[in-house]
């Protein structure tokens, strides 16, 4: 279910920081028209950490209805409190999401046993609901070891089905591919090609917000083993990927989408508006990629 090119979609805000559901509709329609294979609302790119649970549920419900079963919707339900993650995941299931993306808890810095117990608690509360594990130590300050993922897969095989790898640690990526049945997806746009060449099955992408068709093409070419063509597209995409991370995600992507007329550029504090210098980088990347 969770394979190919999947977009970690931004949450558009109005100038007063309220959620812009009309813009969200435009963004979802753009993704589907361009051939994206899955959508994740309320991930880190969706600024879930700055939303209340009620806001997150509203975004998830709206996304599920707009997508209308055309592609899978994985709800971002991660957080730092296990009880809150359990509740968010249970509510996402009731709202019709096809699964949940759950990052390792941020700031707590749990032990490996704590990580196991955290995810096990969610699996017990939502039996059979598909979960994509999300390892992103650059944001959460903790790395989930491969051994924990092996235990989770062995103990809850109907729950843990996929893994978003944003560790930038290809050695661990190989371990997960070799030792678990998880469908591995790149969580780093810049590592899509090498990770798929190792056996990953796609990408959970930030850059797909801006260039969904190209990200889908990169995933397709890489998965088909057409590595020469994939490498050429990857080289072409590299400046756009860099531009989307010139400042903290999703500030550059929102600036790009604003330039494209898709939504406003607003990110919620503590994320600041993009600087003029960075905006020039984003504008040039869009122009060079023939998006503008």
Catalytic positions, written as ranges: 134, 164
Please say whether the beta carbons of 24 and 64 come within 8 A: no
- Give me the helices (H) in the chain, please: 21-33, 53-67, 82-94, 112-125, 137-140, 146-155, 170-179, 192-198, 212-223, 227-243, 251-259, 276-288
Cα–Cα distance, 264 to 266 (Å, whole number): 6
Intra-chain end-to-end CA distance of the chain, in Å: 33
Peptide bond into 292 cis (omega under 30): no
Burial of 76 (0-12, 13-18, 19+ CB in 10 A): buried
CB 77 within 8 A of CB 83: no
Question: C-alpha angle 37/258/204, rounded to 5°?
Answer: 25
The 3-state DSSP composition of the chain as helix, strand, coil percent (nearest 5) reads 50, 15, 35
Residue of 132, 134, 176, 97 lying closest to 3 (CA atoms) = 132
């Amino acid at each position: 279910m969770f394979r190919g090119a999947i977009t970690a979609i931004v949450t558009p805000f109005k100038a007063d920081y309220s959620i812009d559901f009309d813009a969200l509709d435009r963004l979802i329609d753009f993704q589907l028209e361009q051939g994206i294979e899955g959508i994740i609302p309320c991930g880190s790119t969706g600024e879930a950490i700055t939303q209340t649970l009620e806001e997150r549920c509203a975004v998830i419900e709206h996304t599920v209805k707009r997508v209308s079963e055309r592609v899978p919707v994985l709800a971002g339900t991660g957080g730092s409190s296990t009880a809150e993650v359990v509740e968010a995941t249970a509510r996402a299931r009731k709202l019709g999401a096809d699964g949940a993306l759950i990052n390792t808890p941020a700031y707590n810095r749990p032990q490996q046993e704590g990580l196991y117990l955290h995810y096990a608690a969610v699996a017990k509360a939502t039996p059979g609901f598909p979960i994509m594990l999300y390892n992103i130590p650059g944001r959460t300050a903790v790395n989930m070891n491969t051994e924990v993922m092996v235990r989770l897969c062995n103990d809850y095989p109907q729950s843990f089905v996929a893994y978003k790898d944003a560790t930038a640690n290809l050695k661990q990526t190989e371990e997960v591919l070799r030792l678990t049945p998880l469908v591995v997806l790149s969580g780093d746009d810049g590592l899509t090609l090498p990770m798929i060449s190792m056996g990953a099955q796609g990408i959970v992408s930030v850059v797909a917000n801006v260039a969904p068709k190209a990200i889908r093409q990169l995933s397709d070419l890489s998965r088909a083993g057409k590595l020469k063509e994939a490498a050429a597209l990857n080289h072409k995409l590299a400046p756009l990927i860099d531009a989307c991370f010139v400042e903290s995600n999703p500030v550059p992507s929102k600036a790009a989408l604003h330039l494209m007329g898709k939504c406003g550029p607003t990110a919620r504090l503590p994320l600041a508006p993009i600087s003029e210098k960075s905006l020039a980088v984003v504008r040039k990347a869009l122009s060079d990629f023939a998006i503008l």
